[in-house]
Each structure stands twice: as C-alpha cells, then as structure tokens.
Amino acid sequence: MRERAAQHTLRRRRGRRSTATALTAALVMTGAAVATTLTAQPAGAAATVASWPSASGSQAVSSTIAVSGTYDGSLKRYYGSGDLGDGGQDEGQDPIFKLKDGATLKNVIIGTPGADGIHCSGSCTLQNVWWEDVGEDAASFKGTSSSATYKVTGGGAKKASDKVFQFNGAGTLTITGDFQVSDFGKLVRSCGNCSTQYKRTIVVNGVDVTAPGTSLVGINTNYGDTATLRSVRIHGDSSKKIKPCVRYTGNDDGDEPTETGSGPDGTYCKYAASDITYN
C-alpha cells in the first residue's frame, strides 16, 4: 500500500512539473513574440505626434515687426490686424515678422490672420515657431548669397492651402528638430518662376507629416536644386498620396513651371525608401 501510494504521489508530482514546464515555455514564447513585435517597428517611427503648445498670451500686429539679433516671443500668439489682418492668400502681403541677416526668432506662435508669416532677408533661424493657420506662406527665405543658411528647428504649421515655406533666395534651407506639418499643400517650394533664380539646397531631416498634403519638396532641376530627405515620418497616408519630392523645370519669366517627375533619383531628389516611414 505504501509503495502504491508513493508511486501515485510521484506521478502527481511529475504531472505538476510537466504542467509548470509547459507554462514556462508558453510564457517564454509569448515574451519572444512581444519582443519580436516591438523590434519590428522601424527605427524612428513615432506612433504619435507631439501636441501643440498653448499660447502664453496674444498680441495684435498692425505693422511688420523688424528683428535683428534674437527675438524670444515666450510662446505669445501674434496675429495680424489692420493692414495685416485681412487673412487672405494673395501674393505680396507684408509679413508679421521680418528678420535681418543672421537674426533668430524663437518661441513664437503665429495666429490668425497670419498675413505673410515671416520673411528672412538673409540667413536666419526659426526655433520653436508655430503657425496655427498659414496665411499666404508661413515663411519666405530671400537671401541672395549662395552661402546663406536658413534653419527651421522644431515648431510646426497647419492649414496651408498652398505652400508652407517659400524658398525664393539662394543658399541652404534645413528643416529639422521634429518639425511637424499637417493639412497642407507643399511643405517647401523652390520658387519656380521668380525673376531672379538661384541654385537652392533643401534638407528635410526628422519631421512629422500628417495628411492631407500634396508634396513635401518641389525643386527646379534646371537650376541645380537638390533636396535631401532623412527620417521623415508620414501619418495618416496609408495610400501614399503625399509625394516626398517633385522635380520641375523652372523659369524666370513668371510662367507656370513644368513638372518633370517625382521620387528619388540620386541626383536631385536624394533619399531612399527607408528614409520615409508611414504610421
């Protein structure tokens, strides 16, 4: 009786051990599956976009504010009034801010109406600047030196029926620092029909793009423009309607430029498929 009882007890213990072993194996497999799911996400692919800041106050602007050196708006909202307050999309409007060569504008919210946003007469830095409802353009870059540098770091823009950034001058424009754009036509357009044309270099590195939108960058290949795209995260565009880079033949007589192609080509539109992620 004791031997049979002992054998029965041993069988029960072995059964418990088998069950525990099976449970452990299942947990290990589940953990491996979770780890595989996590590591399968593309590097740099953000699931969500950072929220917009709240304004610390508001200031009506009836005439353009000239900026030299550094202007810190402390996240105040600036909006057009008087001659700057019609809220239209017409060309030739005056800006809310006009930056001299080498100036920096930071921690500013451009409200509604936004007039023609910001003009940079030469090299400039726009740091943590937000456009709540883009007017004619969010910013225009107008320096005439090939060594001019324009930097847009952080911030964001939305509700741009046409262009966000208008690149009329010469030099290099860099957009980075998790800048975000949504509900827009074009993020950057190298002027296709300005009376004076230049070679323009555009770098878009580390930005969040939310549909709807038409294109990220438009360049003129006949003037030697280039666009380099890195770490671009596109949200809400599973059908991939937003074109990352569009090539045109520009002119200097005011005619509508001719679109000649789109997509990476290694010469003018410089990026690989891995530089664009879709969320």
Give dist(CA 39, CA 91) in Å, integer. Answer: 48
Q: Which of 83-87, 184-188, 200-204, 272-276 has the lowest average pLDDT?
A: 83-87
The pTM is what?
0.82
Burial label for 59, CB within 10 Å (0-12, 13-18, 19+), is middle
Joined tokens for residue 197: 């044309």
If one counts every other C-beta atom within 10 angstroms of the C-beta of residue 88, the result is 12
* Residue 123 · residue 102 · CB < 8 Å: yes
| Highest mean pLDDT of the ranges 39-53, 76-90, 251-265 | 251-265
Sign of CA dihedral 168, 173, 256, 212: negative
Give dist(CA 188, CA 186) in Å, integer. Answer: 6
Res 275 pLDDT > 60: yes
Q: Can you count the helices (H) and strands (E) in the chain?
A: 1, 19
Give dist(CA 19, CA 13) in Å, integer. Answer: 10
| Contacts for 22-30: CB closer than 8 Å, 24+ residues apart | none
pLDDT in tens, 133-172: 997 899 999 999 999 999 999 999 999 999 999 999 999 9
Q: Provide the 3-class DSSP secondary structure of residue 31.
A: helix
pLDDT in tens, 36-68: 332 333 434 445 788 999 999 999 999 999 999
Give dist(CA 58, CA 33) in Å, integer. Answer: 51
Beta-bridge partner residues of 226: 201
Give dist(CA 254, CA 164) in Å, integer. Answer: 20
- Cis ω on the peptide bond leading into residue 95 (within 30° of 0)? no
Q: Which of 56-60, 88-92, 268-272 has the lowest average pLDDT?
A: 88-92
Give dist(CA 265, CA 68) in Å, integer. Answer: 39
DSSP state of 223: G
What pLDDT does 135 receive? 78
pLDDT in tens, 188-234: 999 999 999 999 999 999 999 999 999 999 999 999 999 999 999 99
What Å distances lie between residue 240 and 20, 45, 110, 159, 247, CA to CA?
48, 16, 30, 20, 18
